[in-house]
Amino acid sequence: MTQILAHRGFSAAFPENTMKSFIEAEKAGADGLEIDVQLTKDGEVVVIHDEKVDRTTNGIGFVKDLTYRDLQRLDASYKNKKWLTKEPIPAFSKLLEWLTTNTLTCNVELKNGIFPYTGMEEKVISLIRHYKLEDRIILSSFNHYSIVNCYRLAPEIETAPLYSEGIYMPWIYAQSIKSKGIHPKLIAAPNEIILRAMENGIAVRPYTVNKEKDMQRLFEVGCTAFITDNPVKALEIKEKR
């Protein structure tokens, strides 16, 4: 049964990567979340997509140059005109604590492609272990060195490389870096690739799937999961089938 993972939470309707968007995704019936993490100046793992706070909050600057306390003063719902209540940038630990109260899967994307964020993998893994969520987390990144490092540090936690262009026989590539899944951009996930990967024991979770025809295709082929901004739309299509 194809799982629905809410991209940055229920980001089609709520401010992305906030507890509000995660709670609403769970209420809507999503199977899980996809979230992004960065590291603050003082080493806190926080849930935010961009390296800078400018696009999604009322602040300016790089996350790496701001302390956790600086970030707590910002409003992560500021740029979303449909949502007027202040929403903080969540600490990763806060999200993990909330995940212990439900059964959601959580795909954690390490945003370490631009800044290396020394020690990020260790901190993320340590928090996941603290909350005993190893079997409900999938670690992904466009930085495949980081994926290899995550496996080295925590072989018990599933990893999946993210990629936006085709990889030749991606199931072999995944196996070579000890990943049990792949997270291709939708355009790099035709049915033939999905089926071959799954036949070879590799989970496939394409991103970011928002059109009905694409959702229909992925349900039809029995893809492991897909990542969408709109879990309500995905569930409606799933239930109509």
- Annotated catalytic sites, by residue? 7, 49
Q: Interface with ligand G3P includes 183 (CB under 6 A)?
A: yes
**Considering only 52-60, 87-95, 102-110, 169-177, which stretch makes contact with Ca ion by CB under 5 A?**
102-110
DSSP code per residue over 43-62: --EEE-SSSBSTTTSS--SB
CB-count exposure of residue 109 (10 Å: 0-12, 13-18, 19+):
buried
As measured in angstroms, the least distance from the Cβ of 228 to ligand G3P is 10
- Please report, as residue ranges, which positions from 118 to 157 form the binding site for ligand G3P (by CB under 6 A): 140
Q: Which of 26, 31, 36, 158 touches ligand G3P (CB under 6 A)?
A: 36
Q: Interface with Ca ion includes 36 (CB under 5 A)?
A: yes
Q: Interface with ligand G3P includes 227 (CB under 6 A)?
A: yes
In the shown chain, the binding pattern of residues 129 to 168 toward Ca ion, with x for contact by CB under 5 A and - for none, equals: ----------------------------------------
Nearer to ligand G3P, 114 or 169 (CB): 114
Three-point CA angle 158, 162, 167, nearest 5° = 110
Q: Interface with ligand G3P includes 207 (CB under 6 A)?
A: yes
DSSP code per residue over 132-190: T-GGGEEEEES-HHHHHHHHHH-TTSEEEEEESS--SSHHHHHHHTT-SEEEEBGGG--
Distance in angstroms (rounded) separating the CA atoms of residues 66 and 44: 10
Residues that bind Ca ion (CB under 5 A): 36, 109
